[in-house]
Homo-oligomer: A and B are copies of this chain.
Amino acid sequence: MTLKQYAALVEEKLNELVPEEAQRTPSSGEIPWLLNNAMRYSLTAGGKRLRPSMLLAAADMLGVDRAEAMIPACALEMIHTYSLIHDDLPGMDNDSMRRGRPTNHVVFGEGQAILAGDGLLSLAFELMLENAMAYPAKAANHNAAAYEIALGAGVRGMVGGQCMDLYCERENIRDEKMLGYIHENKTARMLISPLRAAGRLAGLAEDSEEMQALTGYGVNFGLLFQAVDDILDVVGDQALVGKTLGKDAESGKLTFVTLYGLDGAREKANELKQRAQSHLSVFGEKGRFFETLLSDMADRAF
């Protein structure tokens, strides 16, 4: 299976979980049409579905039933989407366009966009808990998978990284240790947790060789992802990247490029690729998806 094939499965399931709703006064226990459609607007705005696809691919690699992994995968995408909606708000990055469409708050208003984000985050956990209850014999695995996702998305993960990112930008702080924290937490953690969540679904112990390999790949792939993003900010095809070229570099944000220069950033990217690669050997032939993903990602930097 390729990334596109996994993404198509995720797309289908997301459409099933949050279908378009017609306007009507909601009955008790119903999701109001407005909240539903505001969540759906951002959830179906495209994107590579990278995080849920990584979870599904890792589940396949580890022999986990794909049906069991589908809800955690979609939950990850809901959490990623909520973070984009909140990130775009006037009080945060104040972006009016994303992926070629007006951002959520431009269409639905600021208040409803805040609620659409809150709703997606809540729904992600609601669905994962419901899913865990649907597999009582494997409740511990499902719990542990949801916990990995909560950790990666939460105050020790993505939200923590966003907090320091916003703080450093506003206070004009440029510090290498801080940059490390932000990259690891804001970006990498949400790319590690799909792999670790799949490992938990498979019942892997923390100290198992496979769990350590999943984590090692995830950390280095996550940082590579950030390095590539920073490099493309400077030398990328604007239409392809889907954002204003040079925006991060010019805003005085700390990036791999402002810190190490373009050549240095490319060198770092290559190092990260090699390190991620080294963790795949334990999976042999079954690690093909992650081998390809790594090459495709690294190639974009050069």
Contacts and interface: CB of A to CB of B under 8 A. Distances in A.
Nearest to A29: B156
Interface residues of A, number: 68
Interface string A245-269: 0000000000000000000000000
A86 interface: yes
A151 B119 CA distance: 11
Interface string A112-142: 1111011101110110011011001001100
Contacts of A32: 160, 163-164, 167, 181
Q: Chain A: interface secondary structure?
A: helix
Contact of A125 (B125, B178, B181): B125
A166 interface: yes
Contacts of A153: 122
Contact of A150 (B129, B154, B164): B129
B159 A115 contact: yes
Contact of A140 (B34, B139, B144): B139
A270 interface: no
Given A112-B163, A119-B154, 8 more contacts: A25-B177, A29-B156, A89-B114, A91-B110, A92-B111, A115-B163, A126-B147, A126-B154
Interface of A: 25-32, 34-36, 38-39, 82-83, 86, 89-92, 105, 109-115, 117-119, 121-123, 125-126, 129-130, 132-133, 136, 139-140, 143-144, 146-147, 150-151, 153-156, 159-160, 162-164, 166-167, 170, 175, 177-178, 180-181, 184-185
